[in-house]
Amino acid sequence: MRRRDFLKTAGYYTGAAMGAAALGGCASLLRGSDVGEVSKATSTEMPMEKAPTATPLDASATPSPQTSGVPPVNRVVLVKTDDRAEGVRRAIDLLEHNPFPNRNVFVKPNFNSADSAPGSTHNATLQSLIESLSDQGAGRITVGDRSGMGNTYAVMQQKGVLQMGEEIGFDTLIFDQLGADDWVNFSPDNSHWRGGFSFARPLLDTDSIVQTCCLKTHRYGGHFTLSLKNSVGMVAKQVPGYGYNYMDELHGSSHQRRMIAEINTAYVPDLVLMDGVEAFVDGGPATGTKVHPGVILASIDRIAIDAVGVAILRYFGTTPEVAKGPIFELDQIARAVDLDLGVDAPDKIEIVTGDSPSAEFAARITDVLMMS
């Protein structure tokens, strides 16, 4: 994602100050408040004063400079493997997309809880991703999130992510500890959010955003939690000093899945990596019925990769909510298409593989994708 100067507020971090104050590791970002993944709206009170506003980003804007080819935005790489570390490296290589040299990169994992994959991002997936970005010439790398089902600091500590950062050299940022000035209010056109949503400013001030998500269903109203849903962790539960609870609004709304898609108007990722070595075909996000697709997916198109992810869930047998109707008519994906966040039809998705086992599995998933 290109840096958008119009998103910045005077007096906010310069690059050096941001590194020292916002991304200087978790030592100063101690314990955050617990955030419930599911809750009911109990208040209609809106903040009396909103955080600084910004216009949603244009996903069709000129892409970032490339150094190894420009992939079509509808490309989804599929690698059939049980080796997460090797699968991540192969998927990134096959995508042939490297905008990272000399750019600071923010990595958004799925640290909703400390549960083992696919309940949260597997450490091997995260480490291989960080190492691949470094190999591609990335500058400072920061890993940050806001947990939905626990204390973010405790989640990162329990998973060993804080130690990993010290060992292989990346910073950590805990969104629970951001101040009031560190959130930016977005209100997309025809938004289903009552007064917009507050998005973490450090994500907007970095040079590039990468996210890595899991493959699973979501029993609390999202229906599935892939790349679009992973963006919920970029939104505040509450902005310090304001009484409004954005997660109460989200989880209490009949428009929850459309609101999830709308969050994604705030940014454009340079890479989305999905760990589908294991998946939940029901339950989720923390626990569920586990299957073993044995895949790693990569794309720059959130709609394309989520559509392929849903097709994989359907292939293994999943919930009625995820299995019903055309994939592109599911609320998250349909609203994302309305917002021009990516590809708008299954026949425009190109699944790329590099070996026979991957190609054979991709053919089966393509059949599921196209029949819906």
Residue pair 158/121 in contact by the 8 Å Cβ criterion: no
CATH number corresponding to 71-371: 3.40.50.11440
pLDDT tens by residue, 289-330: 999 999 999 999 999 999 999 999 999 999 999 999 999 999
Residue 358 one-letter amino acid: S
Ramachandran angles phi, psi of 275, nearest 5°: -90, 105
- Flag whether pLDDT at 37 surpasses 80: no
* Residue of 80, 78, 76 lying closest to 292 (CA atoms): 80
Distance CA 77, CA 64 (A): 19
DSSP letter string over 130-168?
HHHHHHTT--SEEEEE--SSS-HHHHHHHHTHHHHHHHH
* Residue of 341, 273, 339, 335 lying closest to 309 (CA atoms): 273
When pLDDT is cut at 50, 70 and 90, the band that residue 202 belongs to is very high
When pLDDT is cut at 50, 70 and 90, the band that residue 15 belongs to is very low
Distance CA 327, CA 332 (A): 10
Owner of token pair 């004063």:
49
- Flag whether pLDDT at 347 surpasses 90: yes
For 306, the 3-state DSSP assignment is: helix
Q: Residues of the chain with pLDDT > 90: what percent?
A: 78
Distance CA 232, CA 243 (A): 19
Give residue 54's pLDDT. 53
For 170, the 3-state DSSP assignment is: coil
pLDDT tens by residue, 143-169: 999 999 889 999 999 999 999 999 999
Cis bond before residue 99 (omega within 30° of 0): no
* Residue of 237, 242, 212, 236 lying closest to 226 (CA atoms): 212
Residue pair 91/294 in contact by the 8 Å Cβ criterion: no
When pLDDT is cut at 50, 70 and 90, the band that residue 371 belongs to is confident
What is the chain's Cα-based Rg? 19
Selected residue with higher pLDDT from 275 and 32: 275
Q: Report the pLDDT averaged over residues 225-247.
A: 96
What pTM does this model have? 0.83
Q: Report the pLDDT averaged over residues 271-288.
A: 96
Mean pLDDT is highest, among 15-29, 56-70, 135-149, for: 135-149
Q: Report the pLDDT averaged over residues 34-54.
A: 39
* Residue of 289, 281, 225, 300 lying closest to 257 (CA atoms): 225
Distance CA 206, CA 199 (A): 13
When pLDDT is cut at 50, 70 and 90, the band that residue 73 belongs to is low
By CB atoms closer than 10 A (0-12, 13-18, 19+), residue 243 is exposed
Distance CA 70, CA 218 (A): 33
* Residue of 293, 141, 107, 309 lying closest to 223 (CA atoms): 309
- Flag whether pLDDT at 193 surpasses 80: yes
Name every residue whose Cβ is closer than 8 Å to that of residue 110 and which is 6 or more positions away in sequence.
120, 121, 145, 212, 213, 214, 225, 230, 233
- Flag whether pLDDT at 32 surpasses 50: no
- Flag whether pLDDT at 61 surpasses 80: no
Q: Is 21 left (phi over 0), alpha (psi -120 to 50) or beta?
A: alpha
Selected residue with higher pLDDT from 37 and 214: 214
Q: State which H helix or E strand residue 174 sits in.
A: strand 171-174
For 77, the 3-state DSSP assignment is: strand
Average pLDDT, the chain: 85
For 204, the 3-state DSSP assignment is: helix
pLDDT tens by residue, 74-96: 999 999 999 999 999 999 999 99
Domain edges within the chain:
71-371
Out of 28-37, 227-236, 298-307, least confident range: 28-37
Q: Which residues pair with 298 in a beta bridge?
A: 77, 273
